Amino acid sequence: MKLVAVTACPTGIAHSQMAAENLEQTAERLGHDIKVEVQGAMGAQNELTADDIAEADVVIIAADTAVTRDRFEGKSLVKGTVKDGVNDAEGLIEKAEDLAETEGTEQIDLSAGESASGSEATESDAETATAESPTAGADAQDQQRRGGDREKGLFQRLKRLFS
């Protein structure tokens, strides 16, 4: 299968490069051809041509910034975050494989509620979370904690440094 991908992050120094490399290695291991464009603060590297896009079966976008989708009009598209590209490139490529099997032009946005494994939270998961937390209300179901241990965050480290 022929894939094209775009990775982009706000700074574009390390994470978009790592995502691109991981997508390339994973696609090669799975037997797919892929060309990855990297967008960042320095502009675009390894830019996709119109021919590259025309030949592609599916487009993968692993980005934390806005990527213009106009040039991918009429193509099946999988959208995820740079983190997905770094940590779960195989999951992104598997979603692309699923899209290639279906006829038509479909778009899957993994960063908008669907997890990289393809499963969505069910009502029973939300009820379990509400039952475990007595202060959890309707607003708590919509909230999602992001990040890791708060004690290891930048603010806490700076606080310890200056105290």
Active-site residues: which are they? 9
Nearest to 127 by CA among 118, 138, 119: 138
Show the DSSP H helices in the chain as ranges: 15-29, 50-55, 82-87, 89-101, 123-132, 138-142, 154-162
Nearest to 92 by CA among 20, 44, 147, 43: 20
| Residue 60: Cβ within 10 Å count | 30
Nearest to 56 by CA among 38, 71, 39, 40: 71
Q: In whole angstroms, how far apart are CA 40 and each of 48, 85, 121?
A: 15, 15, 32
Confirm if 38 and 16 have CB atoms less than 8 A apart.
Answer: yes
